Amino acid sequence: MALTPHRSLRTAVVAVVSLLPAVALLLVPTGALAAQAPVGLGTAGSFAVLAGTTVTNTGPTVLVGDLGLEPGTSVTGGPVVTGSTHVHDAVAAQAQHDLVTAFDDAAGRAPATAVAGDLVGRTLAPGVYRSTSSLGLTGTVTLDAAGDPQAVFVFQIASTLVTGTQSRVAIINGGQACNVFWQVGSSATLGTGSQFKGSILALTSIAAQTAATAEGRLLARNGAVTLDSNTITRPGCTTPGPTPSGTVVPGPTVSTTPSATPTGSGTPAPVPTVSPSGSGSPSGSPTAVPTLSPTLSPSAVPTASPTGAPSPSVLPSSVTSPPAGGTLPSTGPRVPLAAIVSLAAGALLLGIVLLALTRRRSARR
């Protein structure tokens, strides 16, 4: 059955409207879809180093944070620990339990972007990155937080993580090492003199070679942590305060100060002189002062009188206008850019469909 022009138009409108959600979805930035919460470390978060079997150190290593070992009992080499040391106790056991939970959490994050081989030279946005085998770093990799101090980076590595000599993990544009997590399916090695950032959650062991530094945590579930003249600093997170929106404009200023200041004179000038004796008759017309009586007491006269004519307590001219060029705060809702663009795209599609229908009808005539 042929469609009437009215039905054709209605069908076209329905088709265009149904496409609007898809258009809006395409316009949403990829970073918004990939936004992640930090991996919850639980009690393991207080540790700079946590191992399963042994902790072995060589040279002047400094651990800024706690040192833990569970179920092993051997810590050798005497690293300097600024926090607490927990060896085969309830605190270390709980930390290992929480590490397992965190490890599984990091491994299950999605959606993930595939990475492989060497991260050198890459600049990565916040999100989840997955390597199905080993992952290496022979130079510098840059993690760009794009101005968001809450930006989270999660790396899922199926096998080993190996950083080369003098390699570096750089975080720019407001990012924080506390929000970077490296989930390693076997063991991790930090090369000599490398500068690492983020928390390593390794299934087996972690080795930090000579003079390697880390702003992060070395957390090994089942194996050893080996140290050699390292500085491992447990990272802290800075939470930004609320940012006021809009422009604050001072309110109007109302003047409450009279233009004339009252004096302390006991006798007001404008009060007529009245004789208290009552002798004699008033010299003026009786109708001029009908309310005055010879017995009027001076106490009824105000004790203070302004020397000049007082101005009203609130003057319209005393209201201060906003400064020139000032901006009043907006009280209306802010429309997201994606919504505006999607509506514009929908209108464009509708126009195209209507134009096609018009030409089709013209051709049939």
Rounded Cα distance between 320 and 159, Å, is: 69
Asked if the structure places residue 216 within a domain, the reply is: yes
Residue owning tokens 């004096």: 263
Rounded Cα distance between 268 and 51, Å, is: 94
The answer to whether the CB of 206 falls within 8 A of the CB of 222 is no
The answer to whether the CB of 120 falls within 8 A of the CB of 139 is yes
Question: What pLDDT was estimated at residue 228?
Answer: 98
pLDDT digit string (tens) for 234-266?
Answer: 999 987 655 444 444 444 444 444 444 444 444
Give the pair of three-digit tokens for residue 206. 């972690």
Which residues fall within 8 angstroms of residue 130, CB to CB, at 6 or more apart? 112, 113, 114, 115, 155, 156, 158
Asked if the structure places residue 127 within a domain, the reply is: yes
pLDDT digit string (tens) for 213-233?
Answer: 999 999 999 999 999 999 999
For residue 320, give the nearest of 270, 221, 268, 254 by alpha carbon: 254
pLDDT at 267 exceeding the cut of 80: no
Question: What pLDDT was estimated at residue 142?
Answer: 98
DSSP code at position 275: -
Instruction: Assign 15 a pLDDT band (cuts: 50, 70, 90).
Output: low
- Which of 290 and 136 is assigned the larger pLDDT? 136
Q: Which helix (H) or strand (E) holds 218?
A: strand 213-220
Pairing relation of β-strands 225-228 and 206-208? Answer: parallel
Asked if the structure places residue 46 within a domain, the reply is: yes
Positive or negative, the CA dihedral 334, 340, 342, 346 is: positive
Ranges of H-type helices in the chain = 5-27, 30-33, 90-107, 337-364
Asked if the structure places residue 350 within a domain, the reply is: no
Full residue range of the structural domain in which residue 159 is found: 42-233
Question: What pLDDT was estimated at residue 113?
Answer: 98
Instruction: Assign 129 a pLDDT band (cuts: 50, 70, 90).
Output: very high
pLDDT at 94 exceeding the cut of 60: yes
Interval 100-122 mean pLDDT? 98
Asked if the structure places residue 295 within a domain, the reply is: no
- Which of 137 and 287 is assigned the larger pLDDT? 137
Pairing relation of β-strands 305-306 and 262-263? Answer: antiparallel
pLDDT at 130 exceeding the cut of 50: yes
Instruction: Assign 2 a pLDDT band (cuts: 50, 70, 90).
Output: low
What is the domain count for the chain? 1
Asked if the structure places residue 189 within a domain, the reply is: yes
pLDDT digit string (tens) for 26-70?
Answer: 444 344 345 899 999 999 999 999 999 999 999 999 999 999 999
Question: What pLDDT was estimated at residue 237?
Answer: 92
pLDDT at 286 exceeding the cut of 50: no
pLDDT digit string (tens) for 135-189?
Answer: 999 999 999 999 999 999 999 999 999 999 999 999 999 999 999 999 999 999 9
Question: What pLDDT was estimated at residue 357?
Answer: 78
pLDDT digit string (tens) for 323-352?
Answer: 343 333 333 333 344 555 566 666 677 778
